[in-house]
Amino acid sequence: MADIPFDKRDGYIWFNGELVPWSDAKVHVLTHGMHYASSVFEGCRAYGGEIFKLHEHSQRLVDSARILGFDIPYTVDEIDEACRAELAAQKLEDAYIRPVAWRGSEMMGVSAQKNRINLAVAAWEWPSYFDPEQRKKGIRLDIAGYKRPSPETAPSDAKAAGLYMICTISKHAAEDKGYADALMYDYRGYVAEATGANIFFIKDGVIHTPTPDCFLDGITRRTVIDLAKARGLEVIERHIKPEEMADFSECFITGTAAEVTPVGEIGPYRFTPGEISENLYKDYMALVYAHQDKAKVANG
């Protein structure tokens, strides 16, 4: 399945209020979202048939659109239902769900006030984001050439398609060198995030993570911070200088796709996956599957 192009797959996609055959979910080449990046999206994961933190993802989709100056013509609850309907239509239990909203083709130019706002939701099977063998040792990150932009120059609080262009460039460059991903600094030179995941460091049992003031405060990021605090661990959110990475013992990244993934190397810096990273990974996986345990108890 992984080798099948995404436009050639089978099933259904939820598209502007109805489930349509996968191959019929098309947009015109003169779509504003493609030419001017007036598009926002989410990435959710289903575990055992339940979409983890779905409502938070749907709310962020609506908020991201408003930051870009348009309103999605569906409520957060309706987007939730669209995601569940898509998951059911695809007959999937463990899957990735991609809601995406964009300006259509009614106007073509920078101005697009009259363009229809479209919404689609697709779902598909999702293997491990990183190679399982790499994950055991800790994945290797390059240091990206691009930096996360200032909030004064880009809508950094939105999960906007255009913000990911430099992520794709950076991840491709890292993979070409044999790395799994890349670490991006921010516009001031502080440590920011990986191309699609937030980052955490550990020193003397204390967790340090960059302040998300120019990149997304990820839903998985917040979840893992809560799990760490539940274990009695101290979590410090602050600006982290690149040279400080030499003093940290452990490192891991978090995200819907990455979940909790240990890091063994960032450029010249080395880390050893340890107990804290492993415990938080186990805690996270227990949480995302917790609904199954509740269902078993309810059913006796």
In sequence order, which ranges of 146-238 are alpha helices (DSSP H)?
Answer: 165-176, 219-230
State the pLDDT at residue 228: 98
CA distance 124 to 86: 10
Query: DSSP secondary-structure letter at 2?
Result: T
Residues 148 and 102 reside in one and the same domain: no
Residue (of 254, 263, 275, 252) closest to 53 by Cα position: 254
Residue 294 — pLDDT band, cuts 50, 70, 90? low
CA distance 100 to 90: 17
297 is a domain residue: no
Residue 300 — pLDDT band, cuts 50, 70, 90? very low
Residue 297 — pLDDT band, cuts 50, 70, 90? very low
State the pLDDT at residue 137: 84
47 is a domain residue: yes
User: For residue 298, is pLDDT > 60?
Assistant: no
User: For residue 3, is pLDDT > 90?
Assistant: no
Q: Is 159 a catalytic residue?
A: yes
Residues 109 and 244 reside in one and the same domain: no
Q: CATH number of the domain that 279 lies in?
A: 3.20.10.10
* pTM value surpassing 0.85: yes
For 47, residues 6+ apart whose C-beta sits below 8 A from its C-beta are 93, 94, 288, 289, 291, 292
Q: Which amino acid is at 19?
A: L
Q: Helix, strand, coil proportions of the chain in percent (round to 5)? A: 35, 30, 35
pLDDT digits (tens, 9 = 90+) for 175-221: 999 999 999 999 999 999 999 999 999 999 999 999 999 999 999 99
Residues 176 and 269 reside in one and the same domain: yes
Structure tokens at 229: 């605090």
Domain stops at, among 64, 98, 124: 124
Domain extent, residue 275, equals 132-287
Residues 152 and 86 reside in one and the same domain: no
Residue 2 — pLDDT band, cuts 50, 70, 90? low
CA distance 122 to 86: 7
210 forms beta bridges with 238
Residues 140 and 244 reside in one and the same domain: yes
For 270, residues 6+ apart whose C-beta sits below 8 A from its C-beta are 264
Residue 128 — pLDDT band, cuts 50, 70, 90? low
Which member of 8, 114, 136, 159 is catalytic?
159
Domain stops at, among 124, 146, 179: 124
